[in-house]
Amino acid sequence: MIKRKNKFAEILKKYNYKLHSTDIVAGTITHNEKIGFLVDIGTEKIGYLPKEELTMNYQNKIHNDLMLINTTRDFFLIVENINTKQCILSIKRLDYIRAWKRIKQIYIEDIVFNLKIHYINKGGIITYLEGIQGFIPKSHIYYVTEHNIKSKILTINDNKNQLILSNKSAELKESLHKFKIGELLYGQIIALESYGLFINICRIKALLHVSEIGNINNNTKIFIKGKFIKVKVIHLNMKYGQVSVSIKQIKNITNHHQQ
């Protein structure tokens, strides 16, 4: 440990490098104090790691302070105390940076995953992905199990620490092989609204808008909650997990064949 410590100090001295805020530095935890740890980072003044900067809060991890002594790892340099010239360090913020990098990669790859439900409120569900708090709005929820929910990233903003997820988008992506534009399917009417009907097709809620019903006066009697009807898939919105269907276009096909 002493050799590694001296080697790091020699590198800083050799290149005359001055540490700055937001630098990632290597160091060894040398001493446990009441509210923090002393960390040797190769500078004249020993670094300081406050205990609240150990890990991200969501995990509520309990650390054995003695086990951390002589641990060598990377630290995020928060700031240098102007008066004491002591570097204030963080592990939590380094983990935070790396977590957002992984989240951005997950977003690019459009991955579906199961997440633990931490809290449910009127607006939606609170969960965590890579240690970052995420929110699933009520409008983006299809199905919830007792403890977990299938999710996909909807939007991210690491500058504002915002992570919005969608259960609807995840469910549709995993059921996409059942849905193709122009496909004729049977679905069960689950809700009747002034603007149209909602139909359950293979566990996915599809919208049959009034404009896609046709002659409403002749069809109102067939629209009963719980009844199965044949529809045609006319639009898929993968990002928001939305499916639009039509019965008017089925009639158009029929009429065309009859002619």
The pLDDT of residue 251:
66
DSSP letter for each residue of 164-228:
EEEHHHHHHHHTGGG--TT-EEEEEEEEEETTEEEEEETTEEEEEEGGGT--GGGTGGG--TT-E
Backbone φ, ψ for residue 136 (5° rounding) = -110, 105
Q: What is the mean pLDDT of the chain?
A: 84
The pLDDT of residue 21:
81
> Residues 254-259: what's their mean pLDDT?
44
What CATH number has the domain spanning 110-172? 2.40.50.140
Residue pLDDT, tens place only, 163-181: 999 999 999 999 888 899 9
The enclosing H or E element of 255 equals helix 248-258
Token pair for residue 19? 């540490």
C-alpha to C-alpha distance for 228 and 201, rounded to whole angstroms: 10
Indicate the pLDDT class of residue 221, thresholds 50, 70 and 90: low
C-alpha to C-alpha distance for 229 and 75, rounded to whole angstroms: 61
Each domain of the chain, given as residue ranges in start order, spans: 2-90, 110-172, 180-258
Least confident of 193-202, 208-217, 238-247: 208-217
Indicate the pLDDT class of residue 220, thresholds 50, 70 and 90: low
**Alpha-carbon radius of gyration of the chain:** 28
The pLDDT of residue 149:
94
Q: Are 212 and 228 in contact (CB under 8 A)?
A: no
Give the CATH architecture of domain 2-90. Beta Barrel (2.40)
Residue pLDDT, tens place only, 97-145: 999 999 999 999 999 999 999 999 999 999 999 999 999 999 999 877 7
Residue pLDDT, tens place only, 20-40: 788 899 999 999 988 899 999
Q: Are 53 and 91 in contact (CB under 8 A)?
A: yes
Least confident of 48-52, 155-159, 219-223: 219-223
Domains 110-172 and 180-258 share a fold: yes
Least confident of 50-54, 74-78, 144-148, 191-195: 144-148
Indicate the pLDDT class of residue 201, thresholds 50, 70 and 90: very high
The pLDDT of residue 13:
56
Percent of the chain with pLDDT over 70: 82
The CATH number, out of the four listed (3.40.640.10, 3.40.50.1980, 2.40.50.140, 2.60.40.10), of the domain defined by the range 180-258: 2.40.50.140
